[in-house]
């Protein structure tokens, strides 16, 4: 490992009271959002930026991340990261401290899906999903913890947040989508365990479990989106058009629509603003999944 993290932890410690300007409920909060070049991550990053946070748009797709950061404004910058690669994650955190002086919020949002029936599913696809959604979450939390623990030493009253993007598939099984569901259940296991350890450093660790983002690229992409794929695969009985497939999925939600980035961003705001909850998995599903 060529990144000298103790150097960056020391710099974060020295800068704990030195935060970028910004107005709003998250003024000054230095925030990494992984997978923020598109989808939920982009929407979360934009909302937090509007609330005064400084944003690191961290994504594997650097050109798109740069475009997103530029459109947001001067308190945003793009960083290239592959969350499944330890050196790359260390670099992301080091670059954040180098540029802005510390780290207050990690939104570990980057994630991928590979689905298929059990008897046909390839081990490489299983490992691909696990490496990004599960191991990648561990790596991002590990390097964020190094900085947050150092900052805690310098300012024991300050609170920090780690927020992991799980899914409604982290709360109940998902048919022919077990690699994804397993990784998202696993994310909640990590979150609960990190939460127990990190209270000692005033770091809250929570998970958010969104419902389907039906308007997002994963579902709505006209060529590769799940609506088109499910229509072609005949997964929805009687469906003749993409709209039929869409209505079928909307009808599963008591509130009758898909989850939107603003819904998830509001849950992120809740995680940060409340001061008495950690280790939770918060559903944002329009009533589709209810906790016991």
**Residue numbers at the binding site for ligand NAD (CB under 6 A):** 34-35, 37-41, 59-61, 81-84, 109-112, 132, 136, 165, 167, 210, 212-213, 216-218
- Which member of 49, 134, 160, 180 is catalytic? 180
Q: Give the 3-state secondary structure of residue 23.
A: coil
- Cβ at position 210, least distance to ligand NAD in Å: 4
> Judged by CB, which is closer to ligand NAD: 84, or 96?
84
Residue with Cβ nearer ligand NAD (8 or 40): 40
Nearer to ligand NAD among residue 51 and residue 59 (C-beta): 59
For ligand NAD, give the closer residue by CB, 40 or 151. Answer: 40
Q: In 10 A of CB 48, how many CB atoms? A: 27
CB of 50 to ligand NAD, least distance (A): 18
User: Closer CB to ligand NAD, residue 46 or residue 59?
Assistant: 59
Distance CA 260, CA 277 (A): 24
Q: Measure the CA–CA gap between 71 and 162, rounded to whole angstroms.
A: 25
Q: How far apart are CA 37 and CA 34, in angstroms?
A: 8
Q: How far is the CB of 88 from ligand NAD (least distance, A)?
A: 8
Q: Is 21 exposed, middle or buried (0-12, 13-18, 19+ CB in 10 A)?
A: exposed
Structural tokens at position 278: 């950690």
- Choice between 97 and 165, CB closer to ligand NAD: 165
Give least dist CB 156 to ligand NAD, A: 32
Judge whether 276 counts as a catalytic residue: no
Nearest-angstrom CA–CA distance, 46 and 29 = 14
| 45: three-class secondary structure by DSSP | helix
Min separation Cβ 146 and ligand NAD, Å = 19
Tell me the two tokens of residue 288. 């589709």
Report the C-alpha gap between 231 and 208 in whole angstroms.
Answer: 29
- CB half-sphere exposure, 17, CA atoms < 13 A: 5
Q: What is the smallest separation between the CB atom of 82 and ligand NAD, expressed in angstroms?
A: 5
Q: Are the CB atoms for 170 and 219 separated by under 8 Å?
A: no
Sign of CA dihedral 236, 242, 244, 246: positive
Which DSSP string corresponds to 127-149? Answer: HHHHIIIIIHHHHHHHHHHHHHH
User: Tokens 């450093």 identify what position?
Assistant: 201
The residues carrying an active-site annotation are 180
């Amino acid at each position: 490992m060529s990144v000298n993290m103790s150097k960056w932890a020391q710099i974060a410690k020295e800068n704990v009271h030195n935060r970028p300007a910004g107005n709003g409920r998250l003024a000054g909060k230095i925030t990494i959002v992984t997978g923020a070049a598109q989808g939920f991550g982009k929407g979360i990053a934009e909302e937090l930026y509007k609330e005064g946070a400084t944003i690191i748009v961290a994504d594997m797709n650097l050109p798109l991340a740069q475009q997103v950061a530029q459109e947001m404004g001067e308190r945003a910058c793009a960083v290239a990261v592959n969350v499944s690669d330890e050196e790359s994650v260390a670099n992301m955190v080091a670059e954040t401290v180098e540029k802005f002086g510390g780290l207050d919020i990690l939104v570990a949002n980057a994630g991928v899906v590979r689905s298929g029936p059990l008897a046909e599913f390839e081990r490489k696809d299983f490992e691909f999903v696990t490496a990004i959604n599960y191991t990648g979450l561990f790596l991002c939390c590990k390097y964020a913890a190094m900085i947050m623990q150092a900052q805690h030493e310098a300012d024991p009253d300050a609170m920090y947040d780690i927020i992991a993007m799980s899914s409604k598939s982290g709360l109940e099984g998902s048919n022919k989508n077990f690699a994804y569901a397993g990784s998202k259940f696993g994310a909640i296991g990590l979150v609960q365990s990190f939460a127990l350890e990190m209270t000692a450093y005033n770091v809250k660790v929570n998970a958010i479990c969104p419902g389907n983002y039906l308007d997002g690229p994963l579902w709505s992409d006209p060529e590769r989106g799940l609506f088109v794929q499910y229509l072609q695969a005949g997964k929805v009985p009687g469906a003749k058009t993409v709209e039929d497939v869409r209505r079928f999925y909307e009808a599963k939600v008591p509130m009758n629509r898909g989850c939107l980035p603003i819904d998830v961003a509001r849950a992120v705001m809740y995680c940060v603003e409340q001061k008495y909850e950690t280790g939770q998995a918060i559903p944002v599903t329009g009533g589709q999944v209810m906790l016991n």
